[in-house]
Amino acid sequence: MAEKTLFPVFDVPEIPTPTPAEEQKYKPSVYFDYELGDFKRDGANKMVLTDGREAWRQWCIKTVQTERLAFLSYSSDTGVELYDAFKQGDKEAIESALERTITEALMVNPRTEYVRGFEFTWDSDGLHCEFVVKGKEWEEQHIDVILQT
């Protein structure tokens, strides 16, 4: 007969560790509409999901618009150094610093293959920054953001 104990004894199940291929997959997320400044919702007021490619593209936009080390909820790897870039002397130096910090911020993600093709347009409402970013599994994505000076 089995011995009775006060506390039950059982085997701890093994937790599967993700393989490198599973870690590299792009995961779906909730769609954020940057023009509205809110999550996109359907007719039933439920948040709309987006595929992994669009989620990664939105991550790129969010990263470029986030000041590094400004928010405790983000790690030190998240965001760009906009304030330091805009402290540079002339427009060429500012554009060079922005290109460097944006490239470094997006290359932190192992799913990013490269960032290039920067174009800057100075306007009264800020600095328009356009560039191309490529994920490891998809074609190049054109990103256009407005950076406030």
Structural contact between residues 141 and 133, judged by C-beta atoms closer than 8 angstroms: yes
Structural contact between residues 29 and 53, judged by C-beta atoms closer than 8 angstroms: no
The whole-angstrom separation of Cα 111 and Cα 99 is 19
Backbone φ and ψ of 110, nearest 5°: -65, -15
In a domain, 76, yes or no: yes
The domain in which residue 134 lies consists of 47-147
In a domain, 60, yes or no: yes
Q: Give the number of domains in the chain.
A: 1
In a domain, 34, yes or no: no
The whole-angstrom separation of Cα 62 and Cα 87 is 22
Q: What is the CATH number of the domain that holds 131?
A: 3.10.450.40
Handedness of CA 29, 31, 32, 34 (dihedral sign): positive
How does pLDDT run along the chain (149 residues), one tens digit per residue?
557 778 878 888 888 776 665 555 678 889 988 888 889 999 999 999 988 888 889 989 999 988 888 877 878 788 899 888 888 888 899 899 999 999 999 999 888 899 999 999 988 877 899 999 998 888 888 999 888 76
CA atoms within a 13 Å half-sphere pointing along the CA-CB vector of 122: 7
In a domain, 13, yes or no: no
Partner residues linked to 128 by β-bridges: 121, 146
